[in-house]
Chain A
Amino acid sequence: MTEEEKKRITRRKYLKYVGAGVVVVGVAGAAAYYGTLPPSPPTPTETTTLAPATTSEVTAASSTPSLTPLTFVRWHYNDTAVTGYVKQFEQELNESVTEEILENVNYTSLVDAKFQAGEKFDLLYAVAGQEFRWLDLGYTQDLESMSEINKIKADFYPDILEDFKDMNGKLAGLPYFWCPMCNPYVNDAILEKAGIGGQRPETWDELWAMARKVKSTGASRYPVLPHWADVGLGGIGWAFLAEMSNIYNDIDLTKTLFAKDFHPVFDTNTEIAELLTNWQRVVKEGLIDPGVLSAGENDMFSLSLSGIHAFVSSRLYFWKAMNDPASSKCIPEKLHMVPATSKQGWGEINSGFYLWPKNNTDPERSERLMKFFGWKDPTTGKRLTATAWAKSDALLSGYSDVLSDPDVIAAFTLWLGDRVDETFKAIDSIRPTMAVPWIWKSPVYTEWIETGFSTLSAVAIGQTSVKDGITQLRSLADSLYKKYYGGS
């Protein structure tokens, strides 16, 4: 054999090396796989009780340091504080939790991908529209099997509890927050310039009439900043539901948009046509700030701080920022929440949920995690996140005692001053009147609004006629109804 032939790799040599490689990789892979297999679930004596952790539990659990971590999937929000609560949970209950923080913008899609890939996780955030879709699709579970479920339900505001129930009346999640959204806030500084300071609209019609007055006196170029950001969930799609519900006194929107069986009931000759025709009119009249129609949620928020609008249809936590002179051009003392009267409701519910995935690490441990974040700390009996978010960001809680917590009242007083009582009364007046759309309890809504919202916007600016717009929305709704419920 020549030197050159020796250097060449023969088929035998090649196969030998490849074979050796395969064996090495296989052994290493198997070792890695079995090395990371989750340990056996904790024994019942360690975890069956959901009462505050006892010393023995801590000791017992601490003897199993390789406990499979629970997984908490969430979006970015007060990250440091949330991680602090995670650590508190770990210490108090001798647990181990991994946080997976997903990008806010694509949160729904990313969570969907996780569910579809069959990933295990134990707790996740969701906002209105997502929670029931994931429940209906079998990714999350209702909470009726939880211990102390009746106590949890009893802590809710009765009207907020309805929003958290699925179509079968079962609790779908625990409250992360709720607040009224798309309800109007008034800037008296502008109204005073127009000579109508202190007046409050009681209906959307009255609001538009006041806006015309403001415009005609030159007190504001664009009197109204509607909640018409160019997004489905969190923008014009929600404003649409709010106004439909408020104007036509249809709290769950089953009479005007989607029936209880989720069948669409709107058409070119129903209430929706009147509403959208009015939207076109107010855009044409220059009553609304057109910048909102190409704005994302953040840009809409920035617009609300400009102080140039007489009415801002917004959310409580945006309004808090409007009251902050460091970031807002508004004069805080001149800003007021418009209360609801017997004439008409305002806005719709905006709620956030803690959901319980079906495919979780351990049902009992994940239940404890759910309750720690979504109900109360089992050790101290205190509400942790509910109180914290109310204090820091004016996020209301589904639990009725949070708003009477002295610390929460003090926190609200810090930014509201002597308007705190009137604001609390306004919140109480709006809560039972705001829209709680039944269609949110079906996967149809999120899939409908994600493409349908741009039709609403296109109709508003006159790019599409009211009739064509409604036809498109109806056609989309029909196809989704057919897809999910097999009807026509």
Chain B
Amino acid sequence: MVLSDTRLGLILVFPLIALVLLVSLYPMGYSLWLSFVDVNFLTHKTSFVGLANYAETLQDPFLRNSIFVSFRFVVETTVLVTLLGLGIALVINEKFRGVSFVKTVVILPWALSEFATGLVGRFILDSSYGLLNAILLRIGVINQSLLFLNGANSVEWISLFYSWNLAPIGVFFILAALQTAPELLYKQAKVDGASIIARFRLVTFPFIRYAVLIVIVLSTIQAGGAVVIFYALTGGGPGTTSTPVPLYDFRVFLGSFNYGYGSAISWLALIFIVTAVTGYFYILTRRK
């Protein structure tokens, strides 16, 4: 019997699909199962607890606080990354001397790991040895060092550094889309007397809409899962003022070894992110 090209193709890609299922779906399934059980290392027993782990999330004041921190961080980061991405992309889309150099500089922060970005932030903001305090003291703006990473502002600082690290992705997505917009359309819009804002709204934005959507989606997913930068910059403190859900979950799962409850938190976080992303797609792709 001769195999059709389609069947042969399916057979040949089967190992890859199996591998993907193994490394992706299996851990997810395992984590889902963990979220319904309680693991006791002392007795080496795993007992099924139904939805008890999910119910516990409703009573957990640490988690409530972390949800608020995460929400704040995701919103701030997404807005910052999108605006920075859009602004920088519009600038480097123009033809000027040294634009290649600027493009290289713009992409550099992306080369840094999240941890390194956190350390950079710490070296700049620390109240004892931070660069920012040193500069402000030297030029006489302040006469004693400031505590930037305090309970009120630390999330904003973390968001700023994280956006700096993430913005190049936005820049290059949007820049690629910008370069597909025909020059002729701009010329015609100018002839028709369209203002800069009108040209952006009517000519540019339709071309970059999907790139912006991708940037928003990526930023949301990345920021929603960010943990290392919090760990490196503030450790989640002071108190729990900068402890997002993933960091709290990390502590529950790998610090307190509460695998069941930790998995339940992960699943709720996943549902939240998927819902948010679906919402973005709905808003940005619906037709009037």
Contacts and interface: CB of A to CB of B under 8 A. Distances in A.
Interface string A288-314: 011101111001001100100000000
Contact of A299 (B1, B126, B242, B251): B126
20 contacts: A10-B1, A10-B2, A11-B3, A14-B3, A112-B257, A221-B144, A290-B238, A291-B127, A293-B237, A294-B154, A294-B238, A302-B128, A443-B41, A450-B256, A460-B239, A461-B238, A463-B151, A463-B239, A472-B62, A483-B40
B62 A294 contact: no
A14 B234 CA distance: 57
A109 interface: yes
A451 B128 CA distance: 27
B31 interface: no
B61 A290 contact: no
Interface residues of B, number: 43
A451 B2 contact: no
Contacts of B38: 483
A230 B41 contact: no
Given A295-B235, A457-B239, A463-B239, A484 B147 contact: no
A101 interface: no
Given A294-B238, A460-B239, A447 B62 contact: no
Interface in B1-31: 1-3, 8, 11
A8 B4 CA distance: 9
A9 interface: yes
Interface string A16-36: 000000000000000000000
B20 to A, nearest CB: 20
A484 B255 contact: no
B62 A454 contact: yes
Contacts of B154: 294
Contacts of A12: 1
A interface, how many residues as a size bin?
Answer: 35 or more
A93 to B, nearest CB: 34
Given A296-B235, A446-B256, 6 more contacts: A136-B42, A138-B44, A230-B237, A290-B150, A458-B241, A461-B239
A54 interface: no
B211 interface: no
B272 interface: no
Which of A296, A451, A459, A484 has the largest number of chain B CB atoms within 10 A? Answer: A451
Contact of B255 (A294, A451, A461): A451
Interface in B229-288: 232-243, 248, 251-252, 254-258
Given A8-B3, A306-B128, A454 B41 contact: no
Contacts of B42: 136-137, 443, 483-484
Contacts of B126: 291, 299, 302
* Pairs of residues from A and B, 4 with the lowest C-beta to C-beta distance, nearest first: A450-B255, A458-B239, A293-B238, A230-B237
A33 B154 CA distance: 53
B13 to A, nearest CB: 14
B255 A291 contact: no
Contact of A464 (B41, B44, B234, B239): B239
Contacts of B251: 450-451, 454
B11 A14 contact: yes
A231 interface: yes
Interface in B127-174: 127-129, 144, 147, 149-151, 154
Contacts of A5: 2
Nearest to B147: A290
Contacts of B41: 137, 443
A232 interface: yes
B107 to A, nearest CB: 29
Contact of A447 (B2, B3, B147, B257): B257
A299 B257 CA distance: 26
Contacts of A136: 42
A63 interface: no
Contacts of A458: 238-241
Nearest to B242: A294
Nearest to A222: B127
A451 B62 contact: yes
A488 to B, nearest CB: 16
Pick the most buried of A229, A293, A294: most chain B CB atoms within 10 A of its CB: A294
A250 B129 CA distance: 38
Contact of B234 (A8, A230, A303): A230
A106 interface: yes
Contacts of B242: 294
Given A109-B254, A137-B42, A472-B61, A230 B2 contact: no
A106 B8 CA distance: 46
B235 A461 contact: no
B243 A291 contact: no
A295 B257 CA distance: 24
Nearest to A133: B41
Interface string A416-450: 00000000000000000000000000010011101
Given A451-B251, A463-B151, A472-B62, A230 B238 contact: yes
Given A294-B149, A463-B151, A457 B237 contact: yes
Interface in A336-382: none
B195 to A, nearest CB: 46
Contacts of A108: 255
Nearest to B38: A483
A1 B147 CA distance: 82
A108 B238 CA distance: 23
A198 B99 CA distance: 64
A284 B222 CA distance: 37
Contacts of B129: 302, 306
Contacts of A293: 237-239
Contacts of A484: 40, 42
Contacts of A106: 254
A10 B129 CA distance: 71
